[in-house]
Each structure stands twice: as structure tokens, then as C-alpha cells.
Structure 1
Amino acid sequence: MDGLAAQLTETELEYLQKHPDVISIRPDRKLQIQTTYSYKFLGLNAARENGWYQAGFGSGAIIGVLDTGVWPESPSFNDHDMPPVPKKWKGICQSGKAFNSSNCNRKLIDA
């Protein structure tokens, strides 16, 4: 599926609507917030003194995902433009059945 976002004039919009390669055009919508309850729901304090605020709202967090079908050659695991592996990461990249530790990089840090 290919797509794009663009700001168009009425003339440009009409031209694209008639183009045989264009399947659909949808206008952008401004959405309104539906709740302000998230902090309470998640058990977070919205004050500046809380741990969530002090921790940078999760900036630099290491997130673990159990994926029983990692395909390291997939472009999804390309580490181009990724920062270095966080120094606090103490894990190792372990090889296993059909997975060589040389497949690890700055995005796929353990498997």
C-alpha cells in the first residue's frame, strides 16, 4: 500500500480525484482529546516531582518483546540511524537454533 500526505489546492484535489491511479483521497481530520484520565488510570502522578516526569517520560527505556519468529534480515530490524545500545543494558545477544549472535545490532540487541 502506498500513500502520501499533502496540502492541495482545490484544482490539485480535483485533478487527483480524476486520476486513474488514485484509489481514494481522504481529508485530514482534527481529533479532540477524549479523556484526561490517563495519568490516574495508569497510576501516574501528573506533578513534576513524580518518577514518570523525572525519568523523562520513558525516554531511553529498554522495551522487551517476546517474538518467536525473529527474521533479522528483515528491513524492520535495520539499525541504520539507531543510537548506540544503552550502557545500562546488561544482557547479551545469545545464539540459538537458526539464530547466530552476529545477527544482533543496535536495534536487535537480544534474541
Structure 2
Amino acid sequence: MTQDDHLSTTFAALADPTRRAILARLAAGEATVSELAEPFELSLPAISKHLKVLQKAGLVEQGRQAQWRPCRIRSEPLREVALWIQSLDRLDGYLRTLQARGEEQ
């Protein structure tokens, strides 16, 4: 899969507010599916579906400790998004410079 494909998958996963809220919760530390479901009025299967999307995007992984299957956030895909956004910021700066030069002439 190319980086662009990874970015598309990551952005698609981040498009949903429930999934963003799950990631925000996991940024504070590991949690079980039940713990992740607590603040939502969603069933456990619905939360599990959201987690599968996040896992497919590489944003979440699920471990195994005896009967407990904690979910944890993976930061690498978010770093890729941050780098991509920084490239847009650089492009914006370059375009503003060109525009300013054009206005001076």
C-alpha cells in the first residue's frame, strides 16, 4: 500500500466523530472495549465496528493479557498525517510568497 493509500485510510477513519473520541480516550492510556463504550449510547458491537475501522487504518491495536484485551493507540499513522499537513503548510507559505511578489509588481 502506498503512503497516499495509508493517508486515505487514515483520513477516512478520522472522519467519524465517534472514532476521533475513541482515539482521544486511548491517548490517555489503554482501555477495554467496554471502557471505550461507556461514554457513548452505542452497543458494544457498534463500538467494535468502529475499532475495526481504526485497526484497519493502523491507528489502534488490541493486545491480549489473559481475559483482558486492551486497546491502545498507534501513533505512526498520525505522524504521517502530521507530516502531510506540514507539507500543505509549506505549500501555503510558498503560494503566499508568490502572491506577495505578484502584488509588488
TM-score, structure 1 normalization = 0.19
When Rg is computed on C-alpha atoms for both structures, the one with the higher figure is 1
Which of the pair is proportionally richer in helix? 2
Between the two structures, name the one with larger relative contact order (CA 8 Å, sep ≥ 6).
Answer: 2
